[in-house]
């Protein structure tokens, strides 16, 4: 199914092709990722009714067919978008190179570094930063906590209540 036919009321083949238009409407909406409640509002049903409808094997098959069509359309769109962005990136890089070579003045070092960082980032060769949060001083922290607890208990600031078990 092509992108333009996703909104049309064409019927898939097989047993699911015999279903009515409102079945296809529900299946399309579910395949697009809408919730049961959203589909219910759109087709004047309860969310529970839509869920029960979606659990019928023939309807599951219909939803799966629409999902496959949508996945194929999205894969085509994504591939096209990536190709387009790569072409635009190459054109922009060529123009930037041309301008850098023809510059009458020296380009400031900070600008060159930014250009290089951006280029390296877009090609997957960017600098990487590793952040590590190490708590090496755990013993000292534990001792401070114990000392603070002892101060409170020994200083008389805390009330100690003894509990007795009932027998």
Q: CA Rg, the chain, in Å? A: 32
Residue 65 lies in a domain: yes
In the block, tokens 């209540």 appear at 161
Sequential pLDDT tens for the chain (167 residues): 344 444 444 555 565 566 678 888 889 899 888 999 999 988 889 999 999 999 988 888 889 988 888 888 888 888 888 888 878 877 887 888 888 888 878 878 788 788 777 777 766 666 777 676 665 677 777 788 888 776 655 555 556 666 677 76
Give me the pLDDT at residue 2, please.
41
CB atoms within 10 A of CB 16: 20
- Whether 86 is in a domain gets the answer yes
Tell whether the torsion through CA atoms of 86, 90, 95 and 97 is positive or negative: positive
- Is 135 within the bounds of a domain? no
Has residue 158 been placed in a domain? no
The domain total for the chain is: 1
Which range of residues forms the domain containing residue 65?
A: 3-122
The tokens of 83 are what?
């190709």
Determine, yes or no, domain membership for 7. yes
Please provide the DSSP assignment of 63-120 as one string: HHHHHHHHHHHHHHHHHHHHHHHHHHHHHHHHHHHHHHHH-SSPPPHHHHHHHHHHHH
Instruction: Say if 49 falls within a structural domain.
Output: yes
Residue bearing tokens 């755990």: 138
Q: How far is CA 116 from CA 48, 71, 121, in A?
A: 56, 37, 8
């Amino acid at each position: 199914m092509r992108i333009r036919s996703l909104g049309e009321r064409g019927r898939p083949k097989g047993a699911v092709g015999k279903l009515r238009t409102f079945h296809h409407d529900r299946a399309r909406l579910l395949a697009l990722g809408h919730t049961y409640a959203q589909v219910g509002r759109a087709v004047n049903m309860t969310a529970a009714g839509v869920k029960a409808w979606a659990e019928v094997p023939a309807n599951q098959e219909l939803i799966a067919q629409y999902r496959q069509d949508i996945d194929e359309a999205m894969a085509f769109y994504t591939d096209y978008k990536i190709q387009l962005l790569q072409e635009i990136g190459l054109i922009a890089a060529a123009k930037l190179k041309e301008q850098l070579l023809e510059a009458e003045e020296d380009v400031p070092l900070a600008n060159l570094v930014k250009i290089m960082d951006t280029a390296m980032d877009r090609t997957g060769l960017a600098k990487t930063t590793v952040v590590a949060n190490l708590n090496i001083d755990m013993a000292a922290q534990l001792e401070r906590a114990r000392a603070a607890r002892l101060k409170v208990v020994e200083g008389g600031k805390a009330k100690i209540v003894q509990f007795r078990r009932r027998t």
